[in-house]
Chain A
Amino acid sequence: MATLQCIVVTPEATVRDEPADFVALPLYDGELGVAPNHSPMIGRLGFGELRIVSGGKAERFYVDGGFVQVAGNVVSVLTPRAIAAEQLDAEAAQEELEAARKMKANTPERMARRDRIVAQSRAQLRVAKHARG
């Protein structure tokens, strides 16, 4: 059976470049599962959990938006930040969320900024909670 090659790249490092059996991607509007021989696609990522299953074990990452390209059994994830779920700091994310909620949002730009931070920290909390069980 064909296997996938899952590559996760951030501007600072290539986080992962290993085979996988199944990849679950956090697209901008929901999760998308990619199994081997998936049709080619380019998608926009949201904030959320990237799950890579290989050999029955799942690796979890928090990704901060970006893109994904699937072609020829290669899944390339391009993201500004990818953090292993175990290394997420739930408390820091919680603090960030609370701080963001108190932010003034009296202009459209500020509102967009606040919404983005809220979405990011919520996603981090979700991923962190998931990782702990």
Chain B
Amino acid sequence: MASPRQLDKRRKAVRNIRKITRTMELIATARFKRAMDRAEAATAYTQRITALVADLARSGLEVSHPLLEAREQTRRVVLLVLTGNRGLCGGYNSSVQRLAQHRLGELRQEGIEVVLEVSGKRGIGAFRFRNIEPDETYTHFEDRPTFDEVDLLASRYLDEFAAGRIDRLEVAYTQFISASRQAPAVETLLPLTEIAGAPSEQSDAEAATGHSMYEFLPSAESILEEVVPTSFKVKLFKCFLDAAVSEQIARMVAMKRATENADEMIRMLSMEYNRARQTRITGELLEVLGGVEALNA
């Protein structure tokens, strides 16, 4: 059995680690709340855009746009992978990375040229480790991605898609489903498969009567032309926000578990330490008693 001194040293080390993980948990909690607020603000915007599209559709407008049309042939695909800049967040980075890599293999097997773009140091490192060099890397998206930053990226994709240099954009990220559930997912953002608010096929025909209470300035078509790219940008922004929120949750959970494990370990070590101390005292007592016995004899 280890000496009490050694055990005490280990216990102290675990206590220090516990302090760190606990602090990280608190920081992640604070960041999560902030990220969540931003995600909610973005939702408010998305809902309003959706309502706007619904109003446009109700005016009897044919919802069509080059961004909504699937290409006949897919030759070049951009795969954007969103991971964190930091580790210590459980399986967050590795699960996105694994999914992205799987998708990459699938696309390559189909003979499609893939442009790999990775955001986050962790993902970049993981791909490099597997000898896959990303075509483009970003590390400036922290836990607070701003719309301006995403806008730059989104505009570039739009331009390239319009020019026919890319035929599809897929984003691998961690979807935020609820506070207790996040799942890695690959989503196709270009071409936009559907635009929220547009009437689906089974929606009642009476909705599109061609009568609308709105006056359109300059015209419904021109507004639609502008709404579609905006809706794409917001979708991409939402992906970034989802990833940021999920990362903080993952870190929070991982650090909470680490703190709990540290607690457990401290308990075990304390028990062992007390036992070792007791054994030593007993041993010393026996030695003293033995000595007395020997003198008396």
Contacts and interface: CB of A to CB of B under 8 A. Distances in A.
A, B assembled together: yes
Interface of A: 9-14, 27-29, 32, 39-44, 65-67, 69, 71, 76, 78, 80-81, 109
B148 A67 contact: no
Given A11-B41, A28-B218, A81 B223 contact: no
Given A42-B216, A42-B217, A78 B49 contact: yes
9 contacts: A10-B41, A10-B45, A11-B237, A12-B41, A42-B52, A42-B220, A67-B227, A78-B48, A81-B148
Interface in B28-43: 38, 41-42
Interface centre among B45, B215, B223, B234 (most CB of A within 10 A): B45
Contacts of A28: 217-218
- Which secondary structure dominates chain B's binding surface? helix
A44 B147 contact: no
B148 A41 contact: no
Given A42-B56, A42-B223, A44-B226, A12 B146 contact: yes
Contacts of A69: 48, 51-52, 55, 214
B295 to A, nearest CB: 85
Contacts of B146: 12
Given A12-B38, A40-B214, A76-B48, 14 more contacts: A9-B45, A10-B147, A11-B147, A12-B147, A40-B213, A41-B214, A41-B215, A42-B56, A42-B217, A66-B230, A67-B223, A67-B230, A69-B55, A80-B147
Interface residues of B, number: 32
Contacts of A71: 213-214
Contact of A29 (B42, B151, B218): B218
A44 B159 contact: no
A71 to B, nearest CB: 7
A29 B230 CA distance: 20
Contacts of A9: 41, 44-45, 48
Interface string B54-86: 011000000000000000000000000000000
B146 to A, nearest CB: 7
- Which secondary structure dominates chain A's binding surface? strand
A27 B45 contact: no
Contacts of B216: 41-43
Interface centre among A11, A27, A71 (most CB of B within 10 A): A11
Given A14-B41, A66-B230, A44 B217 contact: yes
Given A11-B42, A32-B217, A67 B52 contact: yes
B222 interface: yes
A51 to B, nearest CB: 18
B42 A12 contact: yes
Given A12-B146, A81-B148, A44 B223 contact: yes
Contacts of A67: 52, 223, 226-227, 230
A19 B41 CA distance: 20
Contacts of A43: 216-217, 223
Contacts of A66: 230
Nearest to B148: A81
A42 B218 contact: no
Contacts of A32: 217
A43 to B, nearest CB: 4
Nearest to B151: A80
B35 to A, nearest CB: 12
B48 A41 contact: no
A10 B226 CA distance: 16
Contacts of B38: 12-13
Interface string B261-279: 0000000000000000000
A62 to B, nearest CB: 14
A10 B146 CA distance: 11
A28 B217 CA distance: 9
